């Protein structure tokens, strides 16, 4: 990939040098049309080589396009920043929840959360009460 980039830069440089050599004539670049600048006072024109005018126009066009796109995409950057803030907030909340649920539980909650023992199968033929379910006899 680096090799392709070097080839591209070299070809671009050769093209720019060829354009500069082919357009060395001096041209007058005026800021205002037909003597309008004389009413404002001062010199409102400059003599430059044509290749420099071409390169400056290209550079200013690229700069204008860059600014235009940067302004056009500002709402996308704002939305991305809001989504990143929301994601960070949610990750922080998940971290706190993990920490809270990994902490030791209350003893009462631990008793309630303990799995219940399976009921034993007691034969229906026995008439004796289950141990611990009878009251002590009176007088004892």
pTM surpassing 0.75? no
CA distance 81 to 71: 16
| Sign of the Cα pseudo-torsion (72, 73, 78, 82, in order) | positive
Report which of residues 126 and 88 the model is more confident about. Answer: 88
CA distance 75 to 72: 7
CA distance 17 to 14: 5
pLDDT band at 138 (very low <50, low <70, confident <90, very high): confident
pLDDT at 1: 87
CB contact at 8 A, 37 and 53: no
CA distance 132 to 140: 16
């Amino acid at each position: 990939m680096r090799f392709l980039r070097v080839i591209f830069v070299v070809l671009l440089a050769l093209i720019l040098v060829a354009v500069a050599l082919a357009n060395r004539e001096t041209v007058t670049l005026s800021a205002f049309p037909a003597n309008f600048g004389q009413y404002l006072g001062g010199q409102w024109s400059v003599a430059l080589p044509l290749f420099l005018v071409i390169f400056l126009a290209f550079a200013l066009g690229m700069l204008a396009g860059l600014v235009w796109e940067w302004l056009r995409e500002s709402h996308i950057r704002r939305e991305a920043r809001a989504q990143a803030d929301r994601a960070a907030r949610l990750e922080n909340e998940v971290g706190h929840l993990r920490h809270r649920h990994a902490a030791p539980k209350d003893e009462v909650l631990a008793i309630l959360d303990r799995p219940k023992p399976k009921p034993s199968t007691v034969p229906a033929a026995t008439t004796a009460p289950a141990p611990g379910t009878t009251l002590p006899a009176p007088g004892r």
